[in-house]
Structure 1
Amino acid sequence: MTNLNYQSLLLVLLLFLLLLSCEEEGCTDSKALNTDYAATVDDGSCIYSDVVFYGSQFSPCPPVVVQVNGSSIENITASYPGGPGNCSVPGVAYYTFSSGEKIDYVALDDCGRIFSGTVTPSSVNDCIKIRVF
């Protein structure tokens, strides 16, 4: 082989290795709202769903305290019989997912009634509405 053939072969090999080493950064979590399916490296830019916990009636024993994974987040102080129209209404408890992991929630009123469950972030709903009573 001539020197020119070796140089051409080496150039093709280097270009091939360069193409293989290209990594696309973005959100790689499929439970995020902004998943980038072309990304191969997670850059921490994932955005997750908000959760609004609401009551469909007034609790006879207010306040209703909402806890997520054992930590109190907010009290529910209003009622929405048909559910809140959006996630920015007063008197509800808000939570924003920080990862694609599910959360456990508990809502407890002063009469000792407990409403609990588990919720997972949604890749299609930016606002998940949970009726706790």
Structure 2
Amino acid sequence: MAMLKLTQEGTRNLEKELQYLTKRKKEFRHSPEKEFIQSRMAEIEDILSQSSTWPIVREPGYFVEPGSAITIEETVYKERYTYTLVHPFEADPRENMISIESPIAKAALGKAVYSTFSVRVPLGDNLTYTIIDIQNC
């Protein structure tokens, strides 16, 4: 399996969850949730063993890649959005962290600043965006 790249925060959150589950494991030893806790712990351990952490420092980037923080502008309404493209384990749209497997991220990956890309939305229309800024680790 390829090396996973996680943000500093994502790595920290997984480590905290693993610690929490380890402490709670004894409480659930006679509960139906025991299997869930054991499988989740194994999943987190597997993720952490196969991952590396992106550095905090960001520099202007030339191309969108996993880990990039991108600012895009919708071409019709001129609304701007900033997203960080992360591994699906870390995706949290409320924090503007979107999965590299999301439609916007897939369309933006590999593109340069001022490139335009389109994303098909459920109603069948296309939304078009221009990349305004790229910050890479």
- Provide TM-score, normalisation by structure 2: 0.24
Larger Rg: 1
- Provide TM-score, normalisation by structure 1: 0.24
